Amino acid sequence: MPTEIERKFLVTGTQWRQVSGVRICQGYLNRDKERTVRVRIAGDNAWLTIKGVSRGAARLEFEYAIAPAEAEQLLALCDGPVIQKIRHTLPYKGFTWEVDEFLEENAGLVVAEIELIAEDQPFERPAWLGREVTDDPRYFNANLAVHPYREWRGA
């Protein structure tokens, strides 16, 4: 089974800004807590992704490349607003970190993700890595679409 094991952290400072990023536009066709169905456009590429319920840092993930024109049509069918962000991909000590700099209603939020082969796999933390938010549902992209960072960051 295709399983994604991903840990998520807040980002501090600006040392991570060493590489340019790609703009991502993504929306959700289904945001049920048992499964999400996401459509994403990143640069000239697009995907349809189905993710199962998170159990710790792990969940089932099925991802399929689709034509960008089809992705545009699917974005119009999405449940809730579309998320805009810039993804910066950084190698660090044998791992690839994806740093998402959110835009629009989620501006000010910067989150780093690392994919692992086991939940307890050791890795060295970059200096710009802040508090872990893997288990905090507020930081799930599907939640940010309908409960944007701008609304709750001061709460």
Q: Which of 28, 92, 139, 149 is catalytic?
A: 28
Active site residue 149: no
Contact 40, 25 (CB under 8 A): yes
Terminal CA-to-CA distance of the chain, rounded, Å?
Answer: 39
Give the span between the Cα atoms of 1 and 89, in whole angstroms.
Answer: 26
Q: What is the distance of C-alpha 44 from the center of its chain? A: 18
List the structure tokens of 106: 């989620």
Q: How would you class 135 by CB atoms within 10 Å of its CB: exposed for 0-12, middle for 13-18, buried for 19 or more?
A: exposed
Report H helices in the chain.
68-75, 141-146, 149-152
Q: Which residues are catalytic?
A: 28
